[in-house]
Amino acid sequence: MVDNSGYKEIEIDALKEIGSIGGLHASTAIANLIKKDVMVEVSDCFIAKAETIPTSFGDREEIVAGVYLDAYSKGKGCMMMILPMKMAVKLSDYMTGRQHHEPWLFDEEDYSAIAEIGNICASSYLSAISKILDHVMLPSPPGVAVGMLGAILQYPASLVAEMSDYIVAIRTEFTIEDTRYPGFILYIPDPVSQREILEKLGVV
Amino acid sequence: MTDDVRNGNGLVRPQSNDLLQFTPSMTCKNEIIVGVAEFYTVPAPQMLMCIGLGSCVGIAIYDVRAGVAGLAHAMLPRFDDGKDKQNAAKYADSVIYVMVDELIERGATKANLRAKIAGGAQMFQFISSDTLNIGLRNSDVAKETLKKERIPLVAEDVGGTKGRTVRFNPTDGSYSIQIGGEYSWI
Protein backbone atom coordinates (compact mmCIF):
# COMPACT_ATOMS: atom_id res chain seq x y z
CA MET A 1 0.00 0.00 0.00
CA VAL A 2 1.18 3.50 -0.76
CA ASP A 3 2.05 5.52 2.30
CA ASN A 4 1.22 9.18 2.00
CA SER A 5 4.38 10.32 3.80
CA GLY A 6 3.20 13.71 4.92
CA TYR A 7 0.85 14.53 2.07
CA LYS A 8 -2.70 15.45 3.02
CA GLU A 9 -5.68 13.92 1.24
CA ILE A 10 -6.61 17.28 -0.29
CA GLU A 11 -3.09 17.81 -1.64
CA ILE A 12 -3.19 14.43 -3.37
CA ASP A 13 -6.57 15.32 -4.86
CA ALA A 14 -5.12 18.59 -6.15
CA LEU A 15 -2.23 16.73 -7.82
CA LYS A 16 -4.72 14.28 -9.38
CA GLU A 17 -6.64 17.24 -10.74
CA ILE A 18 -3.47 18.50 -12.41
CA GLY A 19 -3.14 15.07 -14.05
CA SER A 20 -6.71 15.26 -15.33
CA ILE A 21 -6.29 18.78 -16.71
CA GLY A 22 -2.98 17.96 -18.39
CA GLY A 23 -4.18 14.57 -19.61
CA LEU A 24 -7.32 16.04 -21.18
CA HIS A 25 -5.35 18.67 -23.06
CA ALA A 26 -2.91 16.02 -24.23
CA SER A 27 -5.69 13.70 -25.39
CA THR A 28 -7.40 16.50 -27.28
CA ALA A 29 -4.13 17.15 -29.06
CA ILE A 30 -3.81 13.47 -30.10
CA ALA A 31 -7.46 13.33 -31.09
CA ASN A 32 -6.99 16.32 -33.41
CA LEU A 33 -3.91 14.73 -34.89
CA ILE A 34 -5.27 11.26 -35.66
CA LYS A 35 -8.98 12.15 -36.02
CA LYS A 36 -10.08 9.40 -33.61
CA ASP A 37 -11.73 9.55 -30.22
CA VAL A 38 -9.37 9.40 -27.27
CA MET A 39 -10.81 8.47 -23.90
CA VAL A 40 -9.14 9.61 -20.69
CA GLU A 41 -9.54 7.86 -17.35
CA VAL A 42 -9.51 9.52 -13.95
CA SER A 43 -5.90 10.11 -12.98
CA ASP A 44 -4.00 8.55 -10.10
CA CYS A 45 -1.36 10.06 -7.89
CA PHE A 46 1.36 7.83 -6.46
CA ILE A 47 3.62 8.87 -3.63
CA ALA A 48 6.36 6.33 -3.15
CA LYS A 49 10.08 5.68 -2.96
CA ALA A 50 11.85 6.12 -6.29
CA GLU A 51 12.91 2.46 -6.53
CA THR A 52 9.28 1.33 -6.60
CA ILE A 53 8.50 3.15 -9.88
CA PRO A 54 9.56 0.28 -12.19
CA THR A 55 7.16 -2.18 -10.55
CA SER A 56 4.22 0.12 -9.81
CA PHE A 57 2.66 0.52 -13.23
CA GLY A 58 1.84 -2.98 -14.44
CA ASP A 59 3.64 -6.10 -15.63
CA ARG A 60 7.32 -5.20 -15.70
CA GLU A 61 8.13 -7.75 -18.41
CA GLU A 62 5.58 -6.43 -20.89
CA ILE A 63 7.16 -4.94 -24.01
CA VAL A 64 6.08 -1.33 -24.41
CA ALA A 65 7.10 1.83 -26.25
CA GLY A 66 8.08 4.69 -23.99
CA VAL A 67 8.75 8.36 -24.67
CA TYR A 68 10.77 10.33 -22.15
CA LEU A 69 10.97 14.12 -21.88
CA ASP A 70 12.35 16.46 -19.26
CA ALA A 71 9.80 19.00 -18.06
CA TYR A 72 11.62 22.29 -17.60
CA SER A 73 10.08 24.94 -15.40
CA LYS A 74 11.77 26.40 -12.31
CA GLY A 75 13.03 22.90 -11.58
CA LYS A 76 13.39 19.84 -13.81
CA GLY A 77 10.63 17.23 -13.71
CA CYS A 78 9.97 14.14 -15.85
CA MET A 79 7.29 13.39 -18.38
CA MET A 80 6.77 9.88 -19.75
CA MET A 81 4.32 8.40 -22.18
CA ILE A 82 4.02 4.61 -22.10
CA LEU A 83 2.17 2.83 -24.88
CA PRO A 84 1.53 -0.90 -25.29
CA MET A 85 3.16 -2.07 -28.55
CA LYS A 86 -0.10 -2.60 -30.46
CA MET A 87 -1.30 0.84 -29.55
CA ALA A 88 2.04 2.40 -30.49
CA VAL A 89 1.93 0.74 -33.91
CA LYS A 90 -1.71 1.80 -34.44
CA LEU A 91 -0.95 5.40 -33.44
CA SER A 92 2.00 5.51 -35.77
CA ASP A 93 -0.16 4.06 -38.58
CA TYR A 94 -2.85 6.68 -38.06
CA MET A 95 -0.27 9.41 -38.10
CA THR A 96 1.81 8.31 -41.08
CA GLY A 97 -1.04 6.74 -43.09
CA ARG A 98 0.72 3.38 -43.38
CA GLN A 99 -0.56 -0.08 -42.55
CA HIS A 100 1.32 -2.54 -40.37
CA HIS A 101 0.83 -6.28 -40.67
CA GLU A 102 1.37 -9.28 -38.47
CA PRO A 103 4.82 -9.26 -36.96
CA TRP A 104 4.20 -5.63 -35.92
CA LEU A 105 7.78 -4.65 -36.60
CA PHE A 106 8.73 -1.28 -35.27
CA ASP A 107 11.00 0.63 -37.66
CA GLU A 108 12.74 4.01 -37.77
CA GLU A 109 9.69 5.80 -39.07
CA ASP A 110 7.59 4.47 -36.19
CA TYR A 111 10.23 5.64 -33.73
CA SER A 112 10.01 9.21 -34.97
CA ALA A 113 6.22 9.11 -35.21
CA ILE A 114 5.97 7.97 -31.58
CA ALA A 115 8.55 10.57 -30.53
CA GLU A 116 6.43 13.25 -32.18
CA ILE A 117 3.24 12.04 -30.52
CA GLY A 118 5.03 12.08 -27.16
CA ASN A 119 6.29 15.57 -27.86
CA ILE A 120 2.83 16.87 -28.78
CA CYS A 121 1.28 15.23 -25.72
CA ALA A 122 3.88 16.56 -23.33
CA SER A 123 3.78 20.07 -24.79
CA SER A 124 0.02 20.39 -24.46
CA TYR A 125 0.08 18.76 -21.00
CA LEU A 126 2.70 21.21 -19.79
CA SER A 127 1.19 24.28 -21.45
CA ALA A 128 -2.09 23.50 -19.65
CA ILE A 129 -0.24 23.42 -16.33
CA SER A 130 1.81 26.49 -17.18
CA LYS A 131 -1.43 28.47 -17.61
CA ILE A 132 -2.30 27.59 -14.02
CA LEU A 133 1.18 28.38 -12.75
CA ASP A 134 1.59 31.56 -14.81
CA HIS A 135 5.05 30.80 -16.09
CA VAL A 136 6.51 28.90 -18.99
CA MET A 137 6.96 25.12 -18.84
CA LEU A 138 8.67 23.37 -21.73
CA PRO A 139 9.53 19.78 -22.60
CA SER A 140 12.98 18.78 -23.81
CA PRO A 141 13.39 16.91 -27.14
CA PRO A 142 11.90 13.44 -26.77
CA GLY A 143 13.74 10.15 -26.39
CA VAL A 144 12.07 6.90 -27.45
CA ALA A 145 12.69 3.38 -26.16
CA VAL A 146 11.11 0.03 -26.88
CA GLY A 147 11.60 -2.65 -24.28
CA MET A 148 10.45 -4.14 -21.01
CA LEU A 149 8.27 -1.78 -18.97
CA GLY A 150 10.41 -2.29 -15.86
CA ALA A 151 13.61 -1.51 -17.74
CA ILE A 152 12.18 1.63 -19.33
CA LEU A 153 10.85 3.00 -16.06
CA GLN A 154 14.25 2.55 -14.41
CA TYR A 155 15.48 5.58 -16.32
CA PRO A 156 13.13 8.15 -14.73
CA ALA A 157 13.45 6.26 -11.44
CA SER A 158 17.19 6.77 -11.27
CA LEU A 159 16.91 10.39 -12.44
CA VAL A 160 14.47 11.34 -9.68
CA ALA A 161 16.27 9.20 -7.09
CA GLU A 162 19.26 11.48 -7.58
CA MET A 163 17.13 14.50 -6.65
CA SER A 164 14.80 13.36 -3.90
CA ASP A 165 13.84 10.45 -1.70
CA TYR A 166 10.11 10.32 -2.18
CA ILE A 167 8.55 11.02 -5.52
CA VAL A 168 5.11 12.10 -6.61
CA ALA A 169 3.97 10.51 -9.85
CA ILE A 170 0.74 11.57 -11.53
CA ARG A 171 -0.60 8.99 -13.96
CA THR A 172 -3.34 9.58 -16.55
CA GLU A 173 -4.58 6.58 -18.51
CA PHE A 174 -6.02 6.91 -21.98
CA THR A 175 -7.41 4.63 -24.68
CA ILE A 176 -8.04 5.17 -28.37
CA GLU A 177 -11.48 4.19 -29.65
CA ASP A 178 -10.55 0.88 -31.28
CA THR A 179 -7.72 -0.35 -29.05
CA ARG A 180 -8.51 -2.08 -25.81
CA TYR A 181 -5.19 -1.64 -24.04
CA PRO A 182 -4.63 1.63 -22.23
CA GLY A 183 -1.48 3.67 -22.47
CA PHE A 184 -0.61 6.26 -19.90
CA ILE A 185 1.08 9.58 -19.35
CA LEU A 186 3.24 9.92 -16.27
CA TYR A 187 4.21 13.29 -14.87
CA ILE A 188 6.75 13.47 -12.05
CA PRO A 189 6.91 17.12 -10.96
CA ASP A 190 10.04 18.42 -9.30
CA PRO A 191 9.63 19.58 -5.68
CA VAL A 192 9.54 23.28 -6.67
CA SER A 193 6.74 22.89 -9.23
CA GLN A 194 4.92 20.61 -6.84
CA ARG A 195 4.79 23.28 -4.19
CA GLU A 196 3.78 25.89 -6.75
CA ILE A 197 0.92 23.75 -8.02
CA LEU A 198 -0.37 23.20 -4.51
CA GLU A 199 -0.07 26.91 -3.70
CA LYS A 200 -1.85 28.01 -6.88
CA LEU A 201 -4.70 25.61 -6.22
CA GLY A 202 -4.87 26.99 -2.69
CA VAL A 203 -4.52 23.79 -0.72
CA VAL A 204 -1.34 24.49 1.26
CA MET B 1 17.15 -34.12 5.93
CA THR B 2 14.01 -33.38 7.92
CA ASP B 3 15.01 -29.75 8.30
CA ASP B 4 15.26 -29.26 4.56
CA VAL B 5 12.58 -28.56 2.06
CA ARG B 6 12.57 -30.38 -1.25
CA ASN B 7 11.10 -28.41 -4.09
CA GLY B 8 9.84 -29.65 -7.46
CA ASN B 9 13.28 -29.95 -9.02
CA GLY B 10 14.61 -32.15 -6.24
CA LEU B 11 16.95 -29.40 -5.07
CA VAL B 12 17.51 -28.92 -1.39
CA ARG B 13 17.14 -25.55 0.22
CA PRO B 14 18.44 -25.17 3.75
CA GLN B 15 15.77 -23.90 6.12
CA SER B 16 17.65 -22.91 9.21
CA ASN B 17 19.65 -20.06 7.79
CA ASP B 18 19.52 -16.69 9.46
CA LEU B 19 20.84 -14.76 6.50
CA LEU B 20 18.14 -15.93 4.12
CA GLN B 21 15.16 -13.76 4.84
CA PHE B 22 11.97 -14.57 3.02
CA THR B 23 10.29 -11.57 1.49
CA PRO B 24 7.24 -11.17 -0.75
CA SER B 25 9.42 -10.64 -3.83
CA MET B 26 10.81 -14.15 -3.45
CA THR B 27 9.27 -16.91 -5.50
CA CYS B 28 8.77 -20.26 -3.82
CA LYS B 29 10.58 -22.20 -6.56
CA ASN B 30 14.34 -22.16 -6.63
CA GLU B 31 14.74 -18.63 -7.97
CA ILE B 32 14.92 -15.49 -5.89
CA ILE B 33 13.88 -12.37 -7.75
CA VAL B 34 16.12 -9.47 -6.82
CA GLY B 35 14.09 -6.27 -7.02
CA VAL B 36 15.34 -2.76 -7.77
CA ALA B 37 17.71 -1.51 -5.05
CA GLU B 38 17.93 -4.94 -3.39
CA PHE B 39 20.58 -7.61 -3.06
CA TYR B 40 20.57 -11.23 -1.94
CA THR B 41 23.30 -13.67 -1.01
CA VAL B 42 22.45 -17.37 -1.16
CA PRO B 43 24.01 -20.86 -0.81
CA ALA B 44 24.60 -22.90 -3.96
CA PRO B 45 21.48 -24.59 -5.34
CA GLN B 46 19.43 -21.44 -5.04
CA MET B 47 19.21 -19.39 -8.24
CA LEU B 48 19.16 -15.61 -8.39
CA MET B 49 17.33 -13.51 -10.93
CA CYS B 50 16.85 -9.87 -11.97
CA ILE B 51 13.91 -9.02 -14.19
CA GLY B 52 14.15 -6.02 -16.49
CA LEU B 53 17.60 -4.55 -16.06
CA GLY B 54 17.56 -1.29 -17.96
CA SER B 55 19.97 1.40 -16.86
CA CYS B 56 20.39 -0.54 -13.61
CA VAL B 57 23.31 -2.90 -13.31
CA GLY B 58 23.17 -6.50 -12.06
CA ILE B 59 26.34 -7.29 -10.13
CA ALA B 60 26.98 -10.97 -9.38
CA ILE B 61 29.78 -11.88 -6.97
CA TYR B 62 30.43 -15.55 -6.25
CA ASP B 63 32.76 -18.13 -4.77
CA VAL B 64 32.22 -21.46 -6.54
CA ARG B 65 34.38 -23.42 -4.10
CA ALA B 66 32.42 -22.28 -1.05
CA GLY B 67 29.18 -22.44 -3.01
CA VAL B 68 27.84 -19.01 -2.17
CA ALA B 69 26.88 -16.12 -4.39
CA GLY B 70 25.20 -12.75 -4.30
CA LEU B 71 23.35 -10.72 -6.87
CA ALA B 72 22.70 -6.99 -6.59
CA HIS B 73 20.39 -4.75 -8.61
CA ALA B 74 21.94 -1.28 -8.27
CA MET B 75 20.12 1.76 -9.55
CA LEU B 76 22.52 4.68 -9.06
CA PRO B 77 26.31 4.99 -9.34
CA ARG B 78 27.71 6.53 -6.16
CA PHE B 79 26.60 6.38 -2.53
CA ASP B 80 28.26 9.74 -1.79
CA ASP B 81 26.26 11.53 -4.50
CA GLY B 82 22.96 9.95 -3.50
CA LYS B 83 20.14 11.46 -1.51
CA ASP B 84 18.88 8.34 0.24
CA LYS B 85 21.47 7.10 2.74
CA GLN B 86 19.20 4.44 4.27
CA ASN B 87 19.64 1.84 1.57
CA ALA B 88 23.18 0.88 0.56
CA ALA B 89 21.82 -1.57 -2.02
CA LYS B 90 20.68 1.32 -4.20
CA TYR B 91 24.20 2.33 -5.23
CA ALA B 92 26.66 0.39 -7.38
CA ASP B 93 29.66 1.09 -5.13
CA SER B 94 28.22 0.63 -1.63
CA VAL B 95 26.29 -2.53 -2.51
CA ILE B 96 29.54 -4.25 -3.50
CA TYR B 97 31.11 -3.52 -0.10
CA VAL B 98 28.01 -4.72 1.77
CA MET B 99 27.59 -7.81 -0.39
CA VAL B 100 31.23 -8.87 -0.07
CA ASP B 101 30.95 -8.62 3.72
CA GLU B 102 27.84 -10.76 3.72
CA LEU B 103 29.43 -13.34 1.38
CA ILE B 104 32.43 -13.67 3.67
CA GLU B 105 30.05 -14.08 6.60
CA ARG B 106 28.46 -16.96 4.66
CA GLY B 107 31.81 -18.71 4.28
CA ALA B 108 33.32 -17.30 1.08
CA THR B 109 37.04 -16.56 0.89
CA LYS B 110 37.93 -13.09 -0.32
CA ALA B 111 40.67 -14.37 -2.63
CA ASN B 112 38.27 -16.79 -4.36
CA LEU B 113 35.61 -14.20 -5.14
CA ARG B 114 34.88 -13.53 -8.79
CA ALA B 115 32.44 -11.07 -10.36
CA LYS B 116 30.28 -10.79 -13.44
CA ILE B 117 28.21 -7.77 -14.37
CA ALA B 118 25.37 -7.13 -16.81
CA GLY B 119 23.02 -4.26 -17.54
CA GLY B 120 23.75 -0.57 -17.77
CA ALA B 121 21.91 -0.09 -21.03
CA GLN B 122 20.92 3.25 -22.44
CA MET B 123 17.27 2.62 -23.15
CA PHE B 124 16.39 5.95 -24.71
CA GLN B 125 17.63 7.18 -28.03
CA PHE B 126 17.75 10.91 -27.57
CA ILE B 127 17.94 13.38 -30.38
CA SER B 128 20.23 15.52 -28.24
CA SER B 129 23.02 13.30 -26.93
CA ASP B 130 24.18 15.51 -24.07
CA THR B 131 21.83 13.78 -21.63
CA LEU B 132 23.88 12.01 -19.03
CA ASN B 133 24.09 8.27 -19.55
CA ILE B 134 23.16 6.70 -16.21
CA GLY B 135 23.61 3.14 -17.47
CA LEU B 136 27.21 3.76 -18.49
CA ARG B 137 27.99 5.54 -15.20
CA ASN B 138 26.49 2.66 -13.22
CA SER B 139 28.60 0.01 -14.95
CA ASP B 140 31.75 2.16 -14.80
CA VAL B 141 31.43 2.70 -11.07
CA ALA B 142 30.73 -1.01 -10.52
CA LYS B 143 33.90 -1.96 -12.44
CA GLU B 144 35.95 0.66 -10.62
CA THR B 145 34.76 -0.54 -7.21
CA LEU B 146 35.46 -4.20 -8.06
CA LYS B 147 38.98 -3.20 -9.04
CA LYS B 148 39.40 -1.30 -5.78
CA GLU B 149 38.18 -4.36 -3.82
CA ARG B 150 40.56 -6.61 -5.86
CA ILE B 151 37.77 -8.86 -7.12
CA PRO B 152 38.53 -10.06 -10.67
CA LEU B 153 35.82 -9.19 -13.20
CA VAL B 154 35.48 -12.40 -15.20
CA ALA B 155 32.90 -11.34 -17.74
CA GLU B 156 30.60 -8.45 -18.55
CA ASP B 157 27.71 -7.65 -20.84
CA VAL B 158 26.97 -3.95 -20.49
CA GLY B 159 25.60 -1.14 -22.62
CA GLY B 160 23.35 -1.43 -25.63
CA THR B 161 19.82 -0.15 -25.89
CA LYS B 162 17.81 -3.16 -24.74
CA GLY B 163 16.62 -4.29 -21.33
CA ARG B 164 17.95 -7.59 -19.96
CA THR B 165 16.60 -10.33 -17.73
CA VAL B 166 19.42 -12.19 -15.99
CA ARG B 167 19.72 -15.44 -14.01
CA PHE B 168 22.73 -16.34 -11.94
CA ASN B 169 23.54 -19.92 -11.00
CA PRO B 170 25.90 -20.08 -7.98
CA THR B 171 26.69 -23.77 -8.57
CA ASP B 172 28.90 -23.15 -11.61
CA GLY B 173 28.93 -19.36 -11.71
CA SER B 174 27.07 -19.15 -15.00
CA TYR B 175 25.22 -15.97 -15.79
CA SER B 176 22.44 -16.30 -18.34
CA ILE B 177 21.30 -13.16 -20.08
CA GLN B 178 18.06 -12.82 -21.95
CA ILE B 179 17.62 -9.88 -24.32
CA GLY B 180 14.21 -9.98 -25.95
CA GLY B 181 13.85 -13.62 -26.98
CA GLU B 182 17.58 -14.32 -27.25
CA TYR B 183 19.59 -16.09 -24.58
CA SER B 184 23.33 -15.93 -24.02
CA TRP B 185 25.68 -17.08 -21.29
CA ILE B 186 28.75 -15.36 -19.91
Specify whether B50 is catalytic. no
Q: What is the pLDDT of residue B1?
A: 36
- Better-predicted residue by pLDDT, B151 or B44: B151
Is the sign of the CA dihedral A161, A162, A165, A166 positive or negative? negative
Size of interface A-B (CB pairs under 8 A): 107
- In the sheet where B153-158 sits, what is the strand order? B38-43, B68-74, B57-63, B114-119, B153-158
Residues linked to residue B6 through DSSP beta bridges, in sequence order:
B12
Q: What is the pLDDT of residue B22?
A: 43
Q: Is the pLDDT of residue A16 over 50?
A: yes
* Chain B CA closest to residue A64: B163
CB-based contact B75 A148, cutoff 8 Å: no
Q: For residue A69, is it within any domain?
A: yes
Q: For residue A108, is it within any domain?
A: yes
Which of A5, A56, A119, A148 to mutate to test binding with chain B, by most B CBs within 10 Å of its CB?
A148
Contact predicate A69/A118, CB 8 Å = yes
How many domains would you assign to chain A? 1
Catalytic residue (one of B56, B89, B95, B134): B56
Angle between helix axes B134-148 and A149-163 (nearest 10 degrees) is 80
A19-59 pLDDT per residue, tens: 899 999 999 998 998 888 888 888 888 888 888 888 888 88
Q: How far apart are CA B126 and CA B124, in angstroms?
A: 6
B5-34 pLDDT per residue, tens: 433 343 444 444 444 444 434 444 578 888
Contact predicate A61/B51, CB 8 Å = yes
- Polymer length in residues for chain A: 204
Question: N- to C-terminal Cα distance for chain B?
Answer: 34
CB-based contact A150 B125, cutoff 8 Å: no
Q: For residue A34, is it within any domain?
A: yes
Residues of chain A with C-beta less than 8 angstroms from the C-beta of B182: none
Q: For residue A2, is it within any domain?
A: no
Average pLDDT score, chain A: 86
CB-based contact A162 B161, cutoff 8 Å: no
Q: What is the pLDDT of residue A42?
A: 82
Q: What is the CA angle B60-B63-B68, rounded to 5?
A: 80
Residues of chain A with C-beta less than 8 angstroms from the C-beta of B39: none
Q: For residue A3, is it within any domain?
A: no
Q: What is the pLDDT of residue A67?
A: 92
Q: What is the pLDDT of residue B18?
A: 42
Where b means 16+ CB within 10 Å and e means fewer, A67-84 reads bbbbbbbeebbbbbbbbb
CB-based contact B123 A145, cutoff 8 Å: yes
A111-148 pLDDT per residue, tens: 889 999 999 999 999 999 999 888 889 898 888 988 88
Q: Is the pLDDT of residue B131 over 70?
A: no
CA A142 → CA A93, A111, A163, B105, distances in Å?
19, 11, 21, 47
State how far residue B77 is from chain A, nearest Cα, in angstroms: 9
Q: For residue A20, is it within any domain?
A: yes
Q: Is A92 helix (H, G, I), strand (E, B) or coil?
A: helix
Residues of chain B with C-beta less than 8 angstroms from the C-beta of A61: 51-52, 165
* Chain B CA closest to residue A111: B125
Indicate the helix (H) or strand (E) that contains B32. strand B31-33
> What average pLDDT score do residues A3-28 get?
85
Q: What is the pLDDT of residue B24?
A: 39
- Polymer length in residues for chain B: 186
Q: Is the pLDDT of residue A1 over 80?
A: no
CB-based contact A155 B55, cutoff 8 Å: yes
B60-119 pLDDT per residue, tens: 999 999 899 999 999 888 888 877 777 888 888 999 999 999 999 998 899 999 999 999
Average pLDDT score, chain B: 80
Q: How far apart are CA B60 and CA B70, in angstroms?
A: 6
DSSP string, A120-189: HHHHHHHHHHHHHHTS--EEPPPEEEEEEHHHHHHHHHHHHHHH-SEEEEEEEEEEETT--SPEEEEEE-
CB neighbours (10 Å) of residue B125?
Answer: 14
Q: What is the pLDDT of residue B13?
A: 41
CB-based contact A150 B51, cutoff 8 Å: yes
Dihedrals φ, ψ of A24, to 5°? -65, -40
Q: Does ipTM exceed 0.85?
A: no
> What average pLDDT score do residues B141-153 get?
92
Q: Strands B31-33, B47-53: parallel, antiparallel or unpaired by DSSP?
A: parallel
What percent of chain A has pLDDT above 70? 97
* Chain B CA closest to residue A116: B127
* Domain CATH number, residue A190: 3.40.1550.10
State how far residue A177 is from chain B, nearest Cα, in angstroms: 28
Give the domain range for residue A168: 9-200
Q: For residue A105, is it within any domain?
A: yes
Q: For residue A190, is it within any domain?
A: yes
Q: What is the pLDDT of residue B132?
A: 66
